[in-house]
Amino acid sequence: MNEIEQMGVVPVAISVDSPEESGDLCKKAGFTFPFLSDPNTVAIRAYDLVHAKAGVNGHDISRPGEFLVDSSGVVRWVNLTEDFRVRARAEQFLAEARQLK
Amino acid sequence: MEQRKHNWHAWIGFALCLIGFLSYPFFFARYPVTRDVPWANFLILAAGLAFLVSGLWRAFGRSQEYKGKILGPILGVLGLAAAGFFCFVIFFATKQLPKSAGAPKVGQKAPEFTLVDTNNKQVSLASLLATPLPNSGMPPKGVFLIFYRGYW
């Protein structure tokens, strides 16, 4: 994540967690980039990432998904894993991020 | 009558099955090499099952020498259950994700959103792209949106 930030790309984490829950996570893990709260799955729906009823109390949550968006707002790289154990490798993403101007 | 020997193979097999299962969430899942294809866990589980088979063979095939006619099958079933549950999680459970066919694709405009951050401040995609970075004083070259499951 540090490498991403050094390249001038801002990581932004989005989930249905409340601002308080995300704040605790940031404090514990030492994250300084923004964590956004989407409890009503507004953005999550806009990106078609809703995982219906997969939350603890059966509410909707986000499936994992990563998007690199350039300064003009265009998507440059997408990762939508089919298995939430398997996540994007940093190298794949960094190669694309280095191309950003 | 001579005391029969402890059936260590059954116990080792059972222990390896448990370790093979538990070491994934607690250890091997942290490293991409052992996470994406959990070969280390499969090896441990395979060794565990081999020991269980050996333990059962000792318990029933050489019952004059070894104990374990009662505990052997119990450990065997529990060990097999641990291995089976692990395979279920790896091959099935974690793949139950929606298709997300409508997710924005490379070259498309990223949908705009406005959400609150951990300080309850409104943050939009446009504002993220426009806010100068503290180190360079320039707007970011891009943002990396990470949608995650969260703790719910």
- Model ipTM value: 0.91
| % of chain B residues with pLDDT over 70 | 98
> Are A74 and B109 within 8 A, CB to CB?
yes
B chain contacts of residue A56, beta-carbon cutoff 8 Å: 152
Question: Residue A6: is its pLDDT beyond 60?
Answer: yes
Quick one: CA dihedral B144, A12, A29, B149, positive or negative?
negative
CATH class entry, domain A2-98? alpha beta
**Which sequence spans correspond to the domains of chain A?**
2-98
**pLDDT tier for residue B86 given thresholds of 50, 70 and 90:** very high
Question: What confidence score (pLDDT) does residue B152 get?
Answer: 53
User: pLDDT of B55-80, one tens digit each?
Assistant: 999 999 999 999 999 999 999 999 99
Q: Where are the domains of chain B?
A: 8-95, 101-143
pLDDT value of residue B57: 95
Sign of CA dihedral B14, B18, B21, B27: negative
Token output for B105? 């694709």
Say if CB A58 and CB A34 are below 8 A apart: no
Report pLDDT digits (tens) over A16-27.
999 999 999 888
What are the two backbone dihedrals, phi and then psi, of residue B102, each rounded to the nearest 5 degrees? -90, 5
Rounded CA gap, B68 and A77, in Å? 57
Tell which of A5, A7, A75 to mutate to test the B interface (max B CBs under 10 Å).
A75
Q: Please give the torsion angle defined by the CA atoms of residues B107, B112, A32 and A94, in that order, rounded to the nearest 10 degrees.
A: 0
- Give the model's pLDDT for residue B110: 95
